[in-house]
Structure 1
Amino acid sequence: MTHTYNITGMTCSSCQAKVQQLLLQVAGITKVEVDLQKAEASVQMDKHIATGILQNALKDFPKYQLTEKVTARPAVAEFNTEAEKKSWIATYKPVLLIFGYITAVSLLIENLDGAFVLMRWMNNFMAGFFLVFSFFKLLNLKGFAESYSRYDILAKRWNGWGYLYAFAELALGVAFITGFYPLLTNAVTLIIMVISIIGVLQSVLNKRKIKCACLGDVFNLPMSTITIIEDALMIVMSGIMLIKMI
């Protein structure tokens, strides 16, 4: 894959050569072409590398500043074109159906137990949520990690967090359904979802039209308030359960 970045601070051919040399030292980069006139660098890599890692390669020369070039993300442009043709319901149909199924199944479980217990229902709902959402992420783990690194505050700095996050959701789903140390499970859930919602809020408030990675790379869903609701719901439920346990 090849990405283009803006490079400021280059004033001569020596700067051009130095930037090229420094970027080529980053593991995973196979080719670098620096255009002095356009102040750009075209970087070819065999795996996705977070922008922060590339900028860190230039840290010994503070005058060189590397930033992402928006036009280098065709997936975003494709998403915008497709999304404008769909209605809100058609766009978010996958998420709405999934939430509907999880809600229905968790309510059926409560009905079978003979009485509705809020804490137990929330526990089962969260188990279903994390198991289903992690499933879609794991269908294309690499695609999810790349999409997630575009807005999550941790994944931007360390691309490995995108890969780890999918398994963290799976582990949380298993923990909720098996009743594994409820206090610890809910505390970890609260921390992870609070971190996750920060990047979502930043993207939505800044009106960035980017692809949401909540269902991995399977569906072409836009980042919006519904994504905030997903994360906020998990934060509220885990928070309530923690308060009840303490």
Structure 2
Amino acid sequence: MAQKIHVRDENRGGNIKDYWPLIALVGVSALAAIAVCAGFSSFTMKSLMHVYMGVFLIVFALLKLFDPNGFQDGFAMYDLLGMRFAPYGYIYPYLELVLGLAFLSFLAPVTTYLATIILFTFGAAGVIAALQKGLDINCPCMGNILNVPLSTVTLTEDLVMIAMAFFLLFT
């Protein structure tokens, strides 16, 4: 089921309520990370970021996996690789899942950080292109389950993940 593309309604995405599902997921991911890290013998910003990114990526991968066809359809509308190679939309949630598990297990951290930087930089480029075109689509980052517009909030989410991965890489 493909999403309908049309020029952005100026009111869509202008209200905090439009982003409540994203706010809730980010907040719950942060609370889960704090709860897990509270049990660590040494609570550091690096461990908190690792756990947060792991929980965040796993939750977002799960949302995409609820409806892989719907995610792939939406993803192909703005992702630079997803537009040209349809199977990438089916692979992407598993890439997020693997990265999330790698963050939670602290497995191959440098590889995990670099893969995160590459994946989210590429994603941010697609979001920028979609925003410049004025496309009004639901953000596939939330899967096909939640109705959150693709917007600068989506771009900010990508840029924050990139910044966190860079921070982890260089600390």
Asked if these proteins are the same fold (TM beyond 0.5), I'd say yes
Provide Cα deviations, 1:164-191, integer angstroms capped at 9, x if missing partner: 1011001111111112111111111111
Cα distance between partner residues in 2 of 1:235 and 1:85: 26
Show the counterpart of 1:129: 56
Of all paired residues, the percent bearing the same amino acid is 29
Which of 2, 18, 29 pairs up with 1:102? 29
Between the aligned partners of 1:125 and 1:143, the Cα distance in structure 2 is 26
Q: Kindly tell me the number of residue pairs found equivalent between the two proteins.
A: 171
Deviations along 1:133-160, one digit per CA (max 9) or x if unpaired, are 0000000001100100000000011011
RMSD: 2.2
Instruction: Work out whether residues 13 and 151 of structure 2, in 8 Å CA contact, stay in contact via their aligned partners in 1.
Output: no
The answer as to whether partners of 2:13 and 2:149 remain within 8 angstroms in 1 is no
Q: Which has the higher contact order (CA 8 A, sep 6+)?
A: 2
Between the aligned partners of 1:202 and 1:108, the Cα distance in structure 2 is 37
Unaligned ranges ≥5, structure 1: 2-72
- Aligned CA distance change for structure 1 residues 86 and 176 (closer, same or farther; 3 Å): closer
Q: Is the 8 A contact 2:58 2:97 kept in 1?
A: yes
1:158 aligned partner: 85
Q: 1:242 to 1:207 in 2, by over 3 A?
A: same
Distance change >3 Å, CA 168–CA 74, structure 1 → 2? closer
* Structure 1 residue 210, shift from structure 2 partner: 1.8
Query: How has the CA–CA distance of structure 1 residues 132 and 178 changed in structure 2, closer, same or farther, with 3 Å as cutoff?
Result: same
Report whether the alignment pairs 1:76 with 2:10: no
Residue 141 (structure 1) aligned with residue 68 (structure 2): yes
* Kept after mapping to 2: 8 A contact 1:76/1:211: no
Alpha carbons of 1:86 and 1:122: their partners in 2 closer, same or farther (altered >3 Å)?
closer
| Residues 90, 160 of structure 1: alpha-carbon distance in 2 compared, 3 angstrom cutoff | same
The reply on whether 1:204 has 2:128 as its aligned counterpart is no
SS of the residue 1:159 aligns to:
coil
The match for 1:91 among 3, 8, 18 is 18
Quick one: which amino acid aligns to residue 25 of structure 2?
Answer: I
1:177 has 2:94 as partner? no
Deviation per residue, 1:112-147 (Å, 9 max, x gap): 336530111110011011100000000000110010
Q: 1:162 to 1:118 in 2, by over 3 A?
A: same
Structure 2 length-normalised TM: 0.90
Question: Alpha-carbon deviation of 1:89?
Answer: 2.2
Q: 158-167 or 86-95, which moves further after superposition?
A: 86-95
CA distance in 1, matches of 2:14, 2:115: 36
Cα deviation code 1:184-218 (max 9, x no counterpart) = 11111111111010010111233221221011111
Secondary structure, in 3 states, of the residue corresponding to 2:4?
A: helix
Higher strand share: 1
Deviation (angstroms), 1:76: 3.4
What residue number does 2:154 align with?
227
Is the helix fraction higher in 1 or 2?
2
Q: How far apart are 1:85 and its partner, in Å?
A: 7.5
